[in-house]
């Protein structure tokens, strides 16, 4: 399957390994998708570079209102993190929904993003949360907004043979903000979603009006899709059922799901999408109100 398995000790060590060879080395963290792809011949490589023992990539912390999640942090760590539940709940909810406990124990959140599957739960949450990823190469690092990361189905704009995503950066919720994630699923574990929706709301003082709302939905396009028209409708408006309903239908109008023999028709997904968006918005608003 592969000939070399390299345990990188630092980010620079991993990058130099990637760049010294013929350019076919692949980074492995949890490997829950990669190893299957290699086994089934969908991907090929001679060398794997394991980044899970690089100390700085194991970081999960918050400083000055910024949450940082290193590339070796697993779904289980995020799903169990009080810090994430308190400051970016949609992400904890999404991380908890991936695969099974065994998978969550090794699969990383950054891997979930980079693998670029259309319905990656944490990527949907991170899109609503306005996250950025830090990409390192031999010349330095750059931060890229998660919206800009997707090239096509299964393809991110990170060049994994040359670059390494070191962490994901999320602005922590402020007092007037919260987020929520829902998933339409055929069973409660080990199933890809029929739909997943994440919403982050920021309310104006007095909690009567939306300051702004970010809505991410999937799988309705190559990557998590922002319901930008719905977001525009809600921006600065008074919070009421009517406007939320209007925005939810606008989100569906922007979505472009496919027909799937396994996970539901396009028609069905478009029909139920507004209800899920509404639930997300309303619950997120309620969570802000509950903060006091």
Q: Say whether residue 102 binds other proteins (CB under 8 A).
A: no
- Collect all residues with Cβ–Cβ distance below 8 Å to 138 and sequence separation of at least 6: 15, 16, 19
How would you list the strands of the sheet with 210-218, edge to edge?
177-185, 193-203, 210-218, 225-226
* 83/275 with CB nearer other proteins: 275
What's the token pair of residue 153? 């189905």
Site string for other proteins, 189-208 (x = CB under 8 A): xxx--x--------------
Q: Say whether residue 276 binds other proteins (CB under 8 A).
A: yes
DSSP state letters, 212-227: EEEEEEESSSSS-EE-
For the CB of residue 138, give the shortest distance to other proteins in the complex, in Å: 38
For the CB of residue 184, give the shortest distance to other proteins in the complex, in Å: 6
Q: Which stretch binds other proteins (CB under 8 A): 17-25, 65-73, 183-191, 239-247?
A: 183-191
CB neighbour class for 267 (10 Å; exposed up to 12, middle 13-18, buried from 19)? exposed
Report how many residues bind other proteins under the rule CB under 8 A: 18
Q: Say whether residue 253 binds other proteins (CB under 8 A).
A: no
Centroid of chain to Cα 263: 20
Contacting other proteins (CB under 8 A), which of 7, 35, 83, 275?
Answer: 275
Contacting other proteins (CB under 8 A), which of 30, 31, 224, 264?
Answer: 264
> Taking CB under 8 A as the criterion, which residues in 71-100 touch other proteins?
100
> Any bridge partners for residue 28, and if so which?
50
Contacting other proteins (CB under 8 A), which of 237, 265, 283, 287?
Answer: 265
Residue 207 has phi, psi (to 5 degrees) of: 60, 25
* 20/187 with CB nearer other proteins: 187
Contacting other proteins (CB under 8 A), which of 12, 16, 148, 186?
Answer: 186
Q: Where are the alpha helices (DSSP H) in the chain?
A: 11-20, 34-39, 75-79, 82-87, 89-97, 101-106, 109-114, 121-129, 228-234, 241-254, 266-291
Q: Which stretch binds other proteins (CB under 8 A): 44-52, 130-138, 206-214, 259-267?
A: 259-267
- Cα 150 from Cα 139, distance rounded (Å): 22
* 15/95 with CB nearer other proteins: 95
Binding footprint of other proteins on the chain (CB under 8 A): 100, 184, 186-191, 194, 261-262, 264-265, 268, 271-272, 275-276
């Amino acid at each position: 399957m592969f000939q070399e398995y390299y345990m990188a000790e630092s980010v620079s060590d991993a990058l130099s390994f990637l760049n010294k060879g013929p350019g076919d080395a692949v980074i492995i963290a949890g490997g829950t998708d990669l190893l299957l792809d290699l086994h089934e011949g969908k991907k090929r490589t001679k060398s794997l570079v394991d980044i899970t023992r690089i100390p700085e990539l194991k970081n999960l912390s918050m400083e000055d209102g910024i949450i940082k999640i290193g590339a070796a942090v697993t779904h289980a760590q995020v799903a169990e993190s009080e810090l994430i539940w308190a400051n970016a709940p949609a992400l904890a909810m999404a991380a908890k929904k991936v695969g099974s406990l065994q998978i969550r124990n090794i699969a990383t959140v950054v891997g979930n993003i980079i693998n670029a599957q259309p319905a990656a739960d944490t990527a949907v949450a991170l899109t609503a949360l306005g996250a950025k990823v830090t990409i390192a190469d031999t010349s330095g690092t750059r931060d890229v907004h998660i919206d800009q990361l997707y090239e096509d189905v299964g393809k991110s704009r990170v060049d994994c043979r040359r670059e390494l995503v070191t962490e994901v950066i999320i602005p922590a919720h402020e007092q007037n903000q919260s987020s929520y994630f829902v998933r339409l699923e055929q069973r409660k574990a080990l199933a890809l979603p029929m739909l997943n929706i994440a919403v982050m709301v920021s309310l104006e003082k007095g909690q009567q009006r939306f300051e702004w709302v970010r809505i991410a939905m999937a799988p309705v396009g190559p990557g998590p899709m922002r319901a930008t028209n719905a977001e525009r409708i809600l921006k600065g408006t008074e919070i009421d059922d009517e406007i939320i309903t209007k925005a939810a239908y606008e989100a569906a109008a922007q979505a472009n799901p496919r027909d799937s023999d396994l996970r539901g028709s396009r028609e069905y997904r478009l029909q139920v999408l507004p209800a899920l968006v509404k639930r997300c918005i309303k619950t997120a608003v309620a969570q802000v109100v509950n903060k006091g």
